[in-house]
Amino acid sequence: MVTRLERNIEAMRTEYPDFSITREIGDLGEVAIWRGVVQPVRRLEGLSDILEDVEAERPVRVVGGEILHHPHCEVSHSVHPLARRLIYWKIQFELQIQYDGGLGDPRCWVITPPIPADQRRHIWPDGSICPFMSGDAWNADENDVVDFMGHSAVWLLKWIGFSQAGVWLGHEHQGTPDYHLRVLAANQNCWCRSGRRYAACHRSSDQQLTRHARPLPSADFCNEGSR
């Protein structure tokens, strides 16, 4: 029987053949670590449409780390304001991705270019990026690391705009107990990326913190308490 980790390794080998892979033994078992380079924007044609879709949280297509306009998009597009600005979009990023084959999310670190302290946004304390709230986008039995790479590519696009224009595309939210309780169902993955159901992980502590109106420890997980 093919394990979840082996399935992910094969998917990455197919979609990202230039990425190196090492396999290590961690505290909870085997871990796969990939390292390679992606360039979310390789052409400027169609970029404005992509920026509009990303800002509106509409789907885009990601192939080998490149973000493309979704072929089935039927929206009538205009020119996005960031497409008019002098932003260097064609940036290559060296990434390190780690996944242990469990229910928790993969992790992604930007190795180069280094992200300055004043440009850190939606980044966890361990330095890995936060491309989505776990309960919204990750199911270990339905998704794989290639899907996660698609979310990471979109995060990189957002960071390019933010680092040069101070604009973060798309919706943002505060990582507060009240927000988690409003948007996460009990059977969804917990926001902390553990892979456990919210009801079996942080839900009770979020309820307690909300009742007592105490600061949320998770505010430290993403820069300035937002993800």
Are residue 35 and residue 123 in the same domain, yes or no?
Answer: yes
The single-letter DSSP state of residue 85 is S
173, pLDDT greater than 50: yes
CA 208 centroid distance within chain: 28
pLDDT-based confidence at residue 221 (cuts at 50, 70, 90): very low
What global pTM score does this model have? 0.86
Domain total for the chain? 2
Q: What was the pLDDT predicted at 136?
A: 65
Lowest mean pLDDT among 97-111, 137-151, 172-186: 172-186
Strands (E), the chain: 20-26, 29-38, 61-63, 66-68, 93-99, 107-112
Among the candidates 121, 140, 165, a domain finishes at 165
The single-letter DSSP state of residue 82 is G
88: three-class secondary structure by DSSP: coil
* Structural domain includes residue 27: yes
Domain of residue 82 covers 4-165
CATH number at residue 94: 3.10.110
**Which helix (H) or strand (E) covers residue 10, if one does?**
helix 4-15
Are residue 188 and residue 150 in the same domain, yes or no?
Answer: no
Are residue 88 and residue 148 in the same domain, yes or no?
Answer: yes
Q: What was the pLDDT predicted at 51?
A: 97
Q: What was the pLDDT predicted at 42?
A: 97
Among the candidates 165, 186, 211, a domain finishes at 165
- The per-residue pLDDT for range 13-49, each reduced to its tens digit, is 999 999 999 999 877 689 999 999 999 999 999 999 9
**Dihedral (C-alpha) 195, 150, 33, 16: value to the nearest 10 degrees?**
140
Q: Quick one: which of 201, 223, 222, 210 has its CA closest to 179?
A: 210
Q: What was the pLDDT predicted at 183?
A: 86
Are residue 111 and residue 22 in the same domain, yes or no?
Answer: yes
The average confidence (pLDDT) of the chain is 89
Q: What was the pLDDT predicted at 94?
A: 98
Among the candidates 125, 141, 165, a domain finishes at 165
The residue count of the chain comes to 227
Are residue 192 and residue 93 in the same domain, yes or no?
Answer: no
pLDDT-based confidence at residue 213 (cuts at 50, 70, 90): low
Are residue 204 and residue 182 in the same domain, yes or no?
Answer: yes
